[in-house]
Chain A
Amino acid sequence: MAHFEKANNLNEWLDQRIGLNTLKRVLNTEYWIPKDINFLWVMGMVLAATFGILVISGIFLLMYYKPDTNLAFDSVNYTIMSEVGYGWLWRHIHGVGASIVFLIIYIHMFTGIYYSSYKKGRELIWLSGMGLFVAFSAEAFSGYMLPWGQMSYWAGMVITNLFSGGSLEAYALVEWIRGDYVPGDAYLTRFFMLHVFLIPLVIIGLIVLHFGTLRLPHVNNQEGADIDYEEAAALYKAGKKKESKVIPFSPVFLSKDIFVMGVYFILFFYLVFYHFDFAMDPVNFDPANGLKTPAHIYPEWYFLWSYEILRPFSKDVGLIAFAISQVALFALPFIDRSPNVAPAHKRGLFQIWFWALLVIMITLTALGKLPPTDPLFAAMGLVFAVLFLLMGPALFIITMFEKKLEKGA
């Protein structure tokens, strides 16, 4: 047995048993963060905090929600909204949180793309991040089923039908996923299980992995500079804090994180109290009805761009285009052939590519919300969907010819 001495305080007692001081050093006081970063680097911690808020509000909703097709709608829209004390607050926090988390995810992703933070040792950060994006999408979709309103039912119908694979006609697979011919009771309960247990568990695992993949490469910085962390850390520890290029994660960087989070949560709760309606689709306040499709159905805003890639094509082509668009971003670190880790404004054509990608995705999002009746918008949808698909090969080609930058720092 290992040798234990009498501990003088709790810290020592814990240090002997679980190596507390080592943990603190590795994860906090000697986890070095570059100085040359901006507020966009706080988005990761903002995401972690928003996930926390979603978990807490979800726990309270879980106390009264009933996963049964006869009871679900009323348990949400009547019991939680008007009977349970402050039930409306948890629901509005949960709804606003689920919407805003995607806004922050998109900002976080585009920050990573802009500063080339997905390659040269950071591939796994990117891949685990994309895993989180997929897991959050599944979490948002399964949660959307739970109030069992018209949008829940019809979104469930359309999305599960995607698994028939077009001409493959895999209806047995669709019925297997649903546990029924159409979304019904078995369907609701299994998506309830996924939403409150399995997917959150996967998300927590992926967050741990995402943080783990960050530890050795460290976060990138505004110039994409290769920092000698040992040298910089030595300077910092020797008291030359001004000369060193780094600061410790805790307490120095964390205090900046917390400041930005403070501002973020003021905005967040402003939305929760005064503008929660943007996250609550009015059509979903009608109970699910399998014999009546709403006049115009569309997904939540964060899925609109991929939905718009499905829509302008015939069924099979649409499904293939959709499938490609869902996985294409995973491949980003491998499509980008350039040797440079640098902000987009120093990478020539890549800068144009970056802004084009952003504009294409925003345009697809706007078009996805419009009804499918206008031929002009339908044609635009087709053009932008094709442009999106061409962005992959375009990146491959322009980065192949990208000149190697001389690194100043």
Chain B
Amino acid sequence: MQEEQKERRDFIGMALGATALVGIGGGLGFAAKRTWDPLPSVKAAGFTTVDLSVAKPNELIVEKWRGKPIFILKKTAEMEANDRDVVIGSDRFHISIGLCTHLGCIPAYKKDDHEFFCACHGGRFNASGINEPGLPPPSPLEIPPFKIAGTELILGEAGPEYKKMLDAGLTV
């Protein structure tokens, strides 16, 4: 009897302890996860507006949006058109996040070859941002959310042209 009661008390004590441990552990674990999350101020990082009328054909412009480089390349008339192009009047632009889809280096634009070359592991993308198969990058350069307003491009806002590309699976 005596022994039995002692075992019962041990059990209740352990059960209570275990419940408390799970509760406190879970709560603090959640707090820890949230502490590592990006801050609201980082997430709210504003929009960037770029004036496309100053772009010159076959000359890469690099803008900064949310800390990431944005490629803006006005295509020449001879350069192949692509559904990923942003069209303003008669001008066609290649617009993408300038981070290699392999592991995130910034590819360099080779003017003469009309292609982007990534020095980190040798990836290549053509002037429409399409990756050359058989090399480390698995997918085309990503297109950032954008909206066209006259000759201006607003980065961070998803306009109809962007949504169309997204629906067509031309970017992620």
Q: Which residues of A contact B (CB under 8 A)?
A: 154, 157-158, 161-162, 166-167, 169, 175-182, 184, 186, 190, 290-297, 310-311, 313-316, 318, 371-373, 378
Q: List 30 A-B contacts (CB under 8 A).
A: A154-B105, A157-B99, A157-B105, A158-B105, A175-B38, A176-B36, A178-B38, A179-B36, A179-B39, A180-B42, A180-B67, A181-B42, A181-B45, A181-B66, A182-B68, A184-B42, A186-B38, A290-B67, A290-B68, A290-B69, A292-B106, A293-B119, A296-B119, A297-B105, A297-B119, A315-B102, A316-B138, A371-B119, A372-B122, A378-B122
* Residues in chain B near residue A157, CB distance under 8 A: 99, 103-105
| B27, chain A: closest CB distance, angstroms | 19
A291-B62, A297-B119, A372-B122 in contact; A161/B67 too (CB < 8 A)? Answer: no
Asked whether B172 is an interface residue with its Cβ less than 8 Å from the other chain, the reply is: yes
- Additional A-B contact list (5), CB under 8 Å, known A295-B119, A315-B136, A315-B137: A161-B104, A181-B45, A291-B69, A293-B108, A315-B102
Whether the Cβ atoms of A162 and B66 lie closer than 8 Å is no
Nearest A residue (CB) for B69: A291
Let me know if B136 and A318 touch, CB within 8 A: yes
Interface size on B, residues (CB 8 A): 31
Enumerate chain A residues within 8 angstroms of B69, measured Cβ to Cβ: 290-291
User: Is B13 engaged at the interface, CB distance under 8 Å to the other chain?
Assistant: no
Q: Tell me whether A167 and B138 are in contact in the complex, defined as CB-CB below 8 angstroms, given that A186-B39, A190-B36, A295-B119 are known contacts.
A: yes
A291 to B104, CA, bound (A): 12
User: CA separation between A158 and B101, bound complex, in Å?
Assistant: 11
CA distance A157 to B69 in the complex (A): 13
> A290 and B64 in contact (CB under 8 A), knowing A179-B42, A311-B136, A313-B136?
yes
Shortest CB-to-CB span from A322 to chain B, Å, is: 11
Q: Does B121 contact A (CB under 8 A)?
A: yes
Determine whether the beta carbon of A161 is less than 8 Å from that of B122.
no
State whether A372 touches B105 (Cβ < 8 A): no
Are the CB atoms of B62 and A186 closer together than 8 Å?
no
Minimal beta-carbon separation of A291 from chain B (angstroms)? 5
The 7 closest A-B pairs by CB, nearest first: A372-B122, A182-B67, A293-B106, A315-B138, A161-B104, A158-B103, A293-B105
Is the CB of B3 closer than 8 A to any CB of chain A?
A: no
Cα A316 to Cα B105 in complex, Å, equals 17
In the complex, chain B residues whose CB is within 8 Å of the CB of A371: 119
Which residues of chain B have C-beta atoms less than 8 A from A181's C-beta? 38, 42, 45, 66-68
Chain B positions 50 through 71: 1 when the CB is less than 8 Å from some CB of chain A, otherwise 0: 0000000000001010111100
Chain B residues with CB under 8 A of A176: 36-38
Q: Which residues of B contact A313 (CB under 8 A)?
A: 136
Are B67's CB and A179's CB within 8 A?
A: no
A179 to B99, CA, bound (A): 18
B residues 95-133 near A (Cβ < 8 Å) are 99, 101-108, 119-122
A166 adjacent to B119 (CB under 8 Å): no
Measured CB to CB, the closest approach of chain B to A326, in angstroms, equals 15
Q: Is B134 positioned at the interface, with any CB of A under 8 Å from its CB?
A: yes
Most buried by B among A158, A293, A296: A293
Which B residues are in CB contact (< 8 Å) with A161? 103-104
C-alpha spacing A231/B137, complex, angstroms = 63
Q: How far is the CB of A374 from chain B (nearest CB, A)?
A: 9
Assembly CA distance A319 to B102 (angstroms): 10
Give B129 Cβ to nearest chain A Cβ, in Å. 16
Q: Using CB atoms, name the residue of chain A closest to B105.
A: A293
Given A295-B119, A314-B138 in contact, is the A182-B103 Cβ separation under 8 Å? no
